[in-house]
Structure 1
């Protein structure tokens, strides 16, 4: 895990190395200052001249300035290193997610990925900042101050050997109680983000069904759950303060009482006022360092859980990879399924597709129809390798899809999925996802073929109209037509329309199909639809049922031979009566 995270330090290694070095100098200087202060006090007490006192004063000012300078530079370099580390972590996670197959994505909830890229990265960033700064400073300060306390205080310093174990034991108990609570809270963060995500994404549905109160209660329950765990952890963690104060005041009482007594009585021969002031300073250094060490352990332990969640995302390897010597050219749009069966995960009890054998010639128009859950979408998702067949072979252009370079294959297979996704930006920017080099004339031509130009031209800003997040300012039919136009700009050898005209009227649907036949006769077109009218003029129609092919043929053949197709046709045309 450490090795994977360390890669994200990247170009910030220099800052990450400089910071501890500066901290070491800062600690050494801070431990020297009380020693020199004690010497100065003794010089003043012994009646030294102004020149000697001034020399010590200037030296102390220089050391204080050097300590301040080291601390300031270390603060700057540590902040740069920590923020850069977090930036690289997010980049690594995002790049990993971009390379995921659908199978990989199915393992993580969207809300969980968001939590990992925000809250978890922030925890690791804070821990990294603490590691290169406070985690260096606190132990060194503890050791150096301990040594100096014994040098300056002699037998009086033994008080630390009594107080330190008490403080360490108390802090150990606090840490052991809080760590499990912090571990639990991250999963609850996922649930909280899921509630927010679903509510915002489905705001129209929530309002149309007047379910605001229900959603508020659901969110409140998730927020209360997170709050309860954090409150329990913070209550326990708050015991650090009183425990620390108890130890500090215990040491102060002992040092002040015993030190004063030692100085006033004859024991003062081996203990002076300078040593007395130094031992007080080192007392604070030791105890505050212990406090910082305890906080470091809590932060690192909490961040350790976040780090595991981050590494899970980065280490997840895509189930779809390029072969060693990939094929970069797709010859044509022919498609072959040879004894193909598929299930979404190894744990799945049944196949989503079973024993599929199919041959589609390049340039054919194929319709696919079937009931909900008949695996129509699953069938076509195997063509661009959004998933890999569990059993059997899928070929495009006569070559197994697993032998193609993924980008080359997907650039020649344009898929317009059921869920139409548009991104924030102008219509032009969304269309150029299909071809970033497309001219304005090509954009207009593709939109005319998809029957999108007719509504775009009515917008005041035309093709420069801004599309809100998720296409919120467009209707379902408008989004579908823009997505079809975007796919056409790829000029693919295979075009798959997965129920992507369901939100348009039958007249517009017919116009789109006619344009596709005339504009791209050599492109293989696969149209998944619920309406018979959308596929009945296809060269062949595939009837899916329960993950298997129930029938293949023209509209006329299926009306004569296939019960399922005939039943759907009659139900849609009210001819069954």
Structure 2
């Protein structure tokens, strides 16, 4: 928590202002009971009406000043707390952007969302209260004690006797509740995960009539969170009644012993009234402290979760300066082996090939053969275990990730689109692209026809995840997004699977002219998509079991022949 609070240093002047304002408010609150005692003893008891009006006016003025100070302090403390939250969200997001897919797999997307939203909100709320209460409570406690002792030192022994009971109750409740706050956040992570899966997979859930089972799964996660939250609140529910009981018993004792002292002439009525007010201030200061004891542990758990993310180092870092390209537009794998963390065996073993500009290199293989894994190594989404991958003749580990990715036009297996217009989504590949460049890229991607059929054309808004477009339309926009970039290397990860054969053929023909000065790496399930490639790499169980043209592999490679015979007719094979 201390590490997180250090980020408040940029708001030091706001905190100084809050401190001064809270101090002023506390002094005003502490002075009011003394004025009230003066009104009673010298005004009410003696029937001095002008004196009552005079001191009453001072009380109104001091109350007004205290109220202004309180409102201003609340404004500044809110500004500092919200600023801290904004800064933390920015830091977490910026840091997470540096993660490889390995870190995303380790923490989990649902947990990262919870940490960036709920956990930071918890910290914001606590900081806002801390800036008020941590300053106010000690002043009210110490000031109340001093003023109470100044009114009657012997009667102050009642307060001294009551405080150990109050402090002991707070500590006991705090120790019981602290472990449960951490469990609440874990259960919240789980609920977010289940809810996210249900929302993103709603089509599959409905298609397989799994609504009842998924509803039960969500209810189970929700019930787990509810149960632990109820346990925490049951414990915390004891705090306020216990404190109020101690406070009220203390006031009763003060009135009892104060009445005896008034009867003996050792104390005046006004002093007893003021003393009761100071007792209430002391007790409320302890109440404020107890509220902080409730909120700080939960915020501390949230702070630890945020620090875990910020402390997590990406599994690989950029090294040195970006060396100059030696072989523009080339891609080379040299004895590349890769294993997922914790895996028993490598996902890819001893992969070697070289692709040059103007060539189409296709990768084909069965499900789980390692095709997408191979593709994900090129942009350094994961770090290879051994061997070397060279882009433009430079080992990607010796160049920055930004530099490597700037050479690539990547079309992922799942076409991800963002909210915004069609033009915005294509410009995602090249921010400064002109309208003519957008239209050219869309034309090559065979997207012009459906875009022109939309009422708003390129200004058509795309809903979240591209839900208002078909799978084929999303794929074509994703391809256009890569084309507008005009990179050195194009990577198509099974990017034509949602296209019909006619559109697929037109697209591949248009791509041949567009990418003649670039290297094309093509992952596909269909043999018809890769049949014209200059080089076809056949993968099986993470190993290269064949490499060559369609004709060469049909003659020499059993794995490729099996794939071809399962998809093509005899006429097509011939």
TM over 0.5: yes
Matched, 1:310 2:310: no
Which is further off, 86-95 or 483-492?
86-95
Question: The residue matched to 2:384 in structure 1 has which SS?
Answer: coil
Counterpart contact for 2:488–2:519, Cα < 8 Å: yes
Report deviation, 1:322.
Answer: 2.6
Residue by residue, what CA displacement relative to the aligned partner does 1:353-399 show, whole Å, maximum 9, x if unpaired? Answer: 11122222232110100111111111122222222211121111111
Per-residue CA shift, 1:283-318, capped at 9, x if unaligned? 111111111111101100111001111122223233
1:107 is paired with a residue whose SS is: helix
How far did 1:328 drift? 6.3
Please tell me whether the aligned partners of residues 377 and 498 of structure 1 are also in contact (alpha carbons under 8 angstroms): yes
Further displaced range: 516-525 or 42-51: 42-51
Q: Which runs of 5+ in 1 are unaligned?
A: none
Q: Does residue 371 in structure 1 map to residue 366 in structure 2?
A: yes
1:336 aligns with 2:332: yes
Counterpart of 1:156?
Answer: 155
Deviations 1:69-104 (A, max 9, x none): 211110111111111111111111111122222122
Question: Which residue, out of 490, 498, 518, partners 1:495?
Answer: 490
1:234-253 deviation line (CA, Å, top 9, x unaligned): 12211122212211221122
- What is the DSSP-based 3-state SS (H/G/I as helix, E as strand, rest coil) of the residue aligned with 2:414? coil
Mapping of residues 293-304 of structure 1, within 5 Å: 293-304=289-300
State how far apart, in whole Å, the 2-side matches of 1:464 and 1:55 are.
71
For the pair 1:326 / 2:330, whether they are aligned, the reply is no
2:112 corresponds to: 113
Cα contact 2:325–2:394 (8 A) shared by 1: no
> Is it true that 1:400 corresponds to 2:399 in the alignment?
no
1:398-547 alignment runs, 5 A limit: 398-547=393-542
Match of 1:271 in 2: 267
Could you tell me how far 1:568 is from its partner in structure 2? 0.7
Distance (whole Å) between structure 1 residues aligned to residue 416 and residue 435 of structure 2: 22
Aligned to 1:89: 88
Normalising by the residue count of structure 2, what TM-score does the alignment of the two structures yield?
0.96
Please give the alpha-carbon distance, in whole angstroms, between the structure 2 residues aligned to 1:189 and 1:72: 34
CA distance in structure 2 between the partners assigned to 1:341 and 1:196 by the alignment: 37
Alignment of 1:280 onto 2:279: no
Measure how far apart 1:564 and its partner are.
0.4
> May I ask how many residue pairs the two structures share in their alignment?
571
TM-superposed CA distance for 1:55, in Å, is 4.4
Q: Secondary structure at the match of 1:156?
A: coil
Q: For the Cα contact (< 8 Å) 2:4–2:303, is it kept in 1?
A: no
The ranges of structure 1 where at least 4 consecutive aligned residues each deviate by more than 6 angstroms after the TM superposition are none
CA–CA separation in structure 1 for the residues paired with 2:366 and 2:232: 52
Please state how far the C-alpha of 1:255 moved relative to its aligned partner: 1.6
What per-residue deviation string (whole Å, max 9, x for no partner) do you get for residues 326-368 of structure 1?
Answer: 23657511122222111222x3332111112222223211010
Counterpart position of 1:176: 175
Deviation at 1:48, TM superposition (A): 8.5
Residue 195 (structure 2) aligns with: 196
Q: Does 1:556 align with 2:551?
A: yes
Shift of residue 490, structure 1, vs aligned partner: 0.5
**Structure 2 portions without partners, runs of 5+:** none
Alpha-carbon distance between aligned partners in 2 of 1:285 and 1:470, rounded to the nearest angstrom: 56
Task: Tell me if structure 1 keeps the 8 A contact 2:338–2:384.
Answer: yes
Superposition TM-score, scaled by structure 1 size: 0.95
Deviations along 1:27-86, one digit per CA (max 9) or x if unpaired, are 122112212322332222674866655543333233222211211110111111111111
Is residue 2:349 matched to residue 1:354? yes
Indicate conservation of the 8 Å contact 1:328/1:404, yes or no.
no
Alignment-derived partner of residue 22 in structure 2:
23
Aligned residue for 1:100?
Answer: 99
